């Protein structure tokens, strides 16, 4: 299998430092040193939700992307098919792994915004309450 080139490699390489920065900012938000207004948090959360939907939609098509293509039963056709499939779903720099990484970074950003807005604990408590209520309804 050949390594992906071009945009996918650049995206993978560009995402690593962003993920590191997000982790540092997340730690600041969780420690309380980073603060954010509710309005700013709401705006960012809406933007992040839209980005997460787009990434999830693309990842939902992963099985369509990771499929052999039929460009002919000859060396050139097979080589083109393999190269395009590898660019979509192959090594670390391929589109699908980069989208998986981007999805995790977006999740971290969302947690960071919630923490900075002081809503991190409230959201967790609400989720725990909903889980307890659901367990009661199911008799668990």
Owner of token pair 């192959």: 90
Q: State the pLDDT at residue 8.
A: 53
Question: What is the C-alpha to C-alpha distance for residues 91 and 138, in angstroms, rounded to an integer?
Answer: 43
Indicate the pTM of the whole model.
0.62
- Angle among Cα 42, 99, 29 to the nearest 5 degrees reads 35
Q: State the pLDDT at residue 69.
A: 66
pLDDT digit of tens for each residue in the chain (140 aa)?
Answer: 445 455 555 666 677 787 888 888 888 887 878 878 888 889 999 999 999 999 998 888 877 766 666 666 777 767 777 777 677 776 666 777 888 888 999 999 998 898 888 766 666 788 888 989 988 888 88
Q: State the pLDDT at residue 47.
A: 94
Q: State the pLDDT at residue 1.
A: 46
Q: State the pLDDT at residue 45.
A: 93
Beta-carbon contacts of residue 104 (< 8 Å; ≥ 6 apart): 19
Owner of token pair 């589109």: 95
Q: State the pLDDT at residue 119.
A: 66
């Amino acid at each position: 299998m050949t390594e992906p080139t071009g945009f996918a490699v650049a995206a993978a390489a560009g995402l690593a430092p962003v993920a590191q920065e997000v982790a540092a900012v997340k730690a600041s938000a969780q420690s309380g040193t980073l603060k954010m207004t509710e309005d700013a948090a709401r705006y960012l959360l809406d933007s992040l939700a839209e980005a997460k939907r787009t990434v999830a939609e693309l990842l939902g098509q992963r099985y369509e992307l990771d499929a052999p293509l039929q460009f002919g039963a000859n060396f050139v056709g097979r080589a083109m098919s393999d190269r395009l499939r590898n660019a979509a779903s192959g090594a670390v720099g391929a589109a699908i792994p980069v989208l998986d990484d981007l999805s995790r970074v977006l999740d971290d950003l969302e947690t960071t915004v919630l923490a900075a807005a002081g809503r991190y604990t409230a959201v967790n408590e609400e989720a725990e309450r909903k889980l307890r209520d659901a367990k009661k309804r199911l008799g668990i």
